Copies of this chain bind each other. A is one copy, B any other.
Amino acid sequence: MSQQRTGHEAGITGRVGAVTPSTVPDFPDLPEATVARLPEYLRALHHLAETGHDTVSSEGLALAAGVNSAKLRKDLSHLGSYGTRGVGYDIEPLVGQIEYILGLNKRRAVALVGVGNLGHALAGYAGFASRGFRIAALFDADLTRVGELINGIAVRHIGDIPEVVKSEAISIAVLATPAGAAQAVADQLVAAGVTSILNFAPVVLNLPEQVDVRKVDLAVELQILSFHEHRKSARGAEQAKAVARGAELAKAVARGAVNGSPVATLGEVAA
């Protein structure tokens, strides 16, 4: 079964590309955690470039990308050296390198299956077009939707998947079907030649392991936040006690509660 990257998986394991002992030239082995952060760095860099910067320090870029600077430097060090000591990173070549690594040189064609509520919105999502992708085909099982034009492209029947995926040379698909249909559609996509799937349906797909699957489950994201809300309120009584002991202590506790770092136990700080 293909690995299901849930989007908030903690122990993403392994080093991508570590297949052969010697690395393929110009394609370094990258920790999966680093790969997952590169798009965020890229976005931050584009923003910096647009606001007139030529260069940025690890501290500055880290701030813009929401990570700490040590992590950022370690991540970028995997790509080769694009920084100047005492100065920072040259934005333009760094953007180029990250785009190259992410395979964003050429605009990638993407198929979207399931033009319901969510799929319709995704089909019109401007962020895909502006960040390296082209929605090249839309599919739906519902014949009453077939032919509908969304953002200038016509919805086709899922029976056309094999033909269109081949003719458009599509390797990435977005799955926004109901849960019940997702597995069957995914099988068809893979049979047609798709090798990466972004799955919005709340099911675990069972696919050959060479297919990369990422799963985005909107309700799951809210449930994780709900856990944190529950925890915050369950700890309300404890927190109240802590606050009573002074503002500094309360801050430490809050930091501990959010970061989860072992900042201090109440006993230690109070002592």
Contact = CB atoms under 8 A, between A and B. Distances in A.
- Chain copies in complex: 2
Contacts of A38: 223, 227
Nearest to A64: B204
A131 interface: yes
A234 to B, nearest CB: 5
Interface in A190-236: 195-198, 202, 204, 209-210, 212, 214-235
Interface string A91-128: 00000000001111000101000000110111011111
A15 interface: yes
Interface string A172-186: 101000000000000
Given A40-B217, A102-B230, 17 more contacts: A3-B258, A8-B9, A8-B214, A19-B242, A20-B235, A27-B231, A39-B217, A43-B202, A43-B217, A44-B204, A64-B204, A118-B121, A122-B218, A130-B219, A196-B229, A212-B258, A214-B225
